[in-house]
Amino acid sequence: MLLIYDDFYLKHDAGPCHPESPGRLYAVINAVRNRDYGSSISFILPEAAKTQDICLVHSLKYLDMVRQLSRAGDYSNLDPDTVISGYSYDCAVLAAGGCINGIDYLLQGKKGPVKNGRVALKGMRKSFFALVRPPGHHAFNNRGSGFCIFNNIAIAARYAAKTGLADKIAIVDFDVHHGNGTQDIFYEDNNILYISIHQYPHYPGTGSASQTGSGAGAGYTLNVPVPAGSGEPEYLRAFDKIITPRLKTFEPGLVLLSAGFDAHRLDPLSSINLESGSYKKIISKLLKSSDAGIPYGIILEGGYDPPAVAQSALCAIDAFMEEKNAV
């Protein structure tokens, strides 16, 4: 597995006492570095995304606004929860770039044309984990929200399609909050399957089961809302009965995970009761639902209890490490 990280991500400052703090990512990277994965994991430093790649999802006008607000050096708000400060633009561009670097890694070793949405990859699973911030799944085409500035996973998906890695891409979002920005971006797209399991009702208020896509994208959005107080049994049942069957019928050539770890029982911003080990079980189910040639990308989203996020991220990595033929 390739891990993508830079200490520069710690420079994004949303203000004192803001939940989306550098400490959450610092806890993750320390935990990973202290775990002996040997040669199973390699690290790379990300590169900043190019403007044209960010504009696969976002308007140039919005990108320029974020840059100007950040360059001003003061605290500015995109919405009541989403703060821009001096390093925010550069961190957000680097976060999107890290996800693009992950897609470039998956492209290495690709052979032959895309067929039925799948790519031949030498019989083994390639994967990356982009340990980035700020997160992205609440960011829309022309506005940020919910701590998110640019929609990292949407940019990665559009970039993967543009480069020919896969013509059918699945995004599975298990952040406790519905990814309203990602859903909106792909709501009329039948080449991107968006699946979200999330606490409902909860912020941001979207994500009911009745929201299934529109136009050409009708049926290509799958929302699995779960009530407060739900835990591992409810989540595993949803993956067994709803999520993995839909993935199998879609037959994606690439799976991207919006990996928020805020459904953990210790998270201060949710009321779901997953354990750290629950994420290993969830990802193992996803991996078993697709053949070993289908690449995976994990992109960090939320999670606001740093020790819980760190242990959950390790469990996510462990799921890949224990799968045969993973690189």
Tell me the pLDDT tens digit for each residue of 204-237: 999 999 999 999 999 999 999 999 999 999 999 9
Closest CA to 296 of 190, 178, 172, 176: 172
Per-residue pLDDT for 120 more than 80? Answer: no
As a whole number of Å, the CA-based R_g of the chain is: 18
Question: What is the overall mean pLDDT for the chain?
Answer: 94
In this prediction, residue 292 has a pLDDT band, given cuts at 50, 70 and 90, of: confident
Catalytic annotation present for 138: yes
Task: Kindly give the interhelix angle for 88-107 and 152-163, rounded to the nearest 10 degrees.
Answer: 40
Amino acid at site 48: A
High-pLDDT (> 90) share of the chain, %: 91
Give the active site residue among 58, 137, 138, 202: 138
Q: Kindly indicate the confidence band of residue 159, based on its pLDDT and cuts at 50, 70 and 90.
A: very high
Q: Is the separation of the CB atoms in 136 and 181 below 8 Å?
A: yes
Query: Which tens digit of pLDDT belongs to each residue from 7-27?
Result: 999 999 999 999 999 999 999
Pick the CATH number of 2-321 from 3.40.800.20, 3.40.50.2000, 3.40.1050.10, 1.10.540.10: 3.40.800.20
pLDDT: which is higher, 38 or 271: 271
Measure CA 123 to chain center: 25
Task: Report yes or no: 279 and 261 within 8 Å, Cβ to Cβ.
Answer: yes
Whether residue 113 has pLDDT greater than 70: no
- Tens of pLDDT, residue by residue over 307-316, are 999 999 999 9
- Specify the length of the chain in residues: 327
pLDDT band at 327 (very low <50, low <70, confident <90, very high): low
Measured in degrees and rounded to the nearest 5, phi and psi for residue 211 equal -85, 105
Return the closest-CA partner of residue 91 out of 177, 25, 161: 25
